[in-house]
Amino acid sequence: MEVMEQFNLQDFILRLSIQLPGFILAVSCHEAAHAFVALKFGDDTAKRQGRLTLNPTAHYTPFGTILFPLLGALMGGTMFGWARPVPIDARRFKNIRKSIFWVSFAGPMANIALSVISAFFYVLIVTKVSPTFYFYEPFLGMLKASITINCILAVFNLIPFPPLDGSKMVGSFLNYEAQRKFEEIQKYGFIFLLLLWFTNIFSYLLFPAIMMANGFIRLFYVMLS
């Protein structure tokens, strides 16, 4: 029994060390991207509040960035979670609808970009580095985790359900009355998250994320082989 408990603890620590770098970078870049694009469209609210940074301490939230991801790792799966939303003042935008769309899309786009970069280095190591290299397996594990985590975050955040980024992108095309009614379902956001997490629905949503991750890897295999 003691041996089994020790093995489980070691397995958890290994999983955590492999996935944590990719997860922290994913959520930090996601929020920093929102802040960066908002600044480009004229709103410096996030910058003034110190959110235009990759420092994870500026973005973390105890439940979404610490407890929930740890729960995923404890259950033997991929770390999943979220950071504190970046504050946006739409009144500072010249073109509100266009700005909201691109500011909202910036987060998932940052995750897609990180997934592409991780896939490139993953295939680069597989095809160009000897397996005898001491850090060969750890690097591949961290890069594969980064690919998967970023694809999952990108796909998840594109779901058009408030307060996810996808809902804001959809909302930018709605008139005021329709947008107000659409945002009313945000009060069910936490229930929606739990429903996804503890049912097979989330597995179906992961399918396009996994397909995306594998597609990036195959693409670079063709380019680098």
The set of catalytic residues is 31
Please name which of 20, 137, 28 lies closest in space to residue 72, comparing C-alpha atoms.
Answer: 20
Cα(164)–Cα(34) distance, integer angstroms: 13
Please name which of 213, 17, 21 lies closest in space to residue 123, comparing C-alpha atoms.
Answer: 213
Residue 101: strand, helix, or coil:
helix
DSSP conformational letter for 1: -
10 Å Cβ neighbour count for 22?
24
Q: Which two tokens stand for residue 215?
A: 């597609």
